[in-house]
A and B are shown apart, each in its own frame.
Chain A
Amino acid sequence: MRQEDRLNIQAWLDGEIAPQKAAQIAAQVETSSTAKVVAEELKAVESALKIGEKPVYLDETRDFYWGQIERQINAEEPMPAAEDYPTPVPEGSSSLLMRWLIPVGSLAAISALMINFGNVNLADPVQPIVEEVIPPASGLTQPVAIMEEENAEAGVGIFSFEGSQGSRNFHDPEDASALPESIENPER
Chain B
Amino acid sequence: MPKLDIPNAKDDVLVRAAQKGKMEPYEELVHRHRDKIYARAFSMMRNEDEALDLSQEAWVKGWQRLKQFKHNASFTTWMTRICINLCLDYLRKKQRRQTDSLEQMEEETGGVERRMPIEEYNPTETVEREELREEIDVAMAKLSYEHRTVLILHEFERLEYKEIAKAMHCSIGTVMSRLFYARRRLANILISLKKERRS
Which residues of chain B (128-183) have a CB below 8 Å from chain A?
Answer: 129, 132-134, 136-137, 140, 151, 154-163, 166-167, 176-177, 179-180, 183
Complex: how many Å from CA A17 to CA B62? 35
Chain B residues within an 8 Å CB radius of A174: 62, 65, 68-69, 78, 81-82
In the complex, are the beta carbons of A60 and B52 less than 8 A apart?
yes
Partner of B81, one of A42, A177, A179: A179
A159 within 8 A of partner (CB): yes
In the complex, are the beta carbons of B136 and A49 less than 8 A apart?
yes
Complex: how many Å from CA A54 to CA B42? 11
In the complex, are the beta carbons of A10 and B180 less than 8 A apart?
yes
Chain A residues within an 8 Å CB radius of B23: 70, 73
Across the interface, name the chain A residue whose C-beta is closest to B179.
A10
Chain B residues within an 8 Å CB radius of A11: 161, 176
In the complex, are the beta carbons of B118 and A41 less than 8 A apart?
yes
B60 within 8 A of partner (CB): yes
Chain B interface extent, by class: 35 or more
A107 within 8 A of partner (CB): no
Least CB distance, B156 to chain A, in whole angstroms: 6
Across the interface, name the chain B residue whose C-beta is closest to A170.
B166
Is chain B's binding surface mostly helix, strand, loop or mixed? helix
Partner of B163, one of A6, A158, A168: A168
Contacts A53-B137, A54-B133, A60-B52 given; indicate if A42 touches B43 (C-beta within 8 A): no
In the complex, are the beta carbons of B163 and A161 less than 8 A apart?
yes
Partner of B158, one of A16, A60, A81, A188: A188
Across the interface, name the chain A residue whose C-beta is closest to B156.
A53
Least CB distance, A174 to chain B, in whole angstroms: 5
In the complex, are the beta carbons of B187 and A44 less than 8 A apart?
yes
In the complex, are the beta carbons of A179 and B66 less than 8 A apart?
no
B122 within 8 A of partner (CB): yes
In the complex, are the beta carbons of A73 and B133 less than 8 A apart?
no
The 7 A-B residue pairs with the shortest CB-CB distance, nearest first, are A157-B89, A48-B123, A158-B85, A56-B39, A159-B167, A54-B137, A177-B70
**Pairs A–B under 8 Å by Cβ, sample size 21:** A6-B180, A10-B183, A37-B120, A42-B180, A44-B122, A45-B121, A45-B186, A46-B183, A49-B136, A53-B133, A54-B133, A58-B35, A68-B56, A80-B67, A157-B85, A161-B163, A176-B70, A176-B71, A179-B72, A180-B159, A182-B158
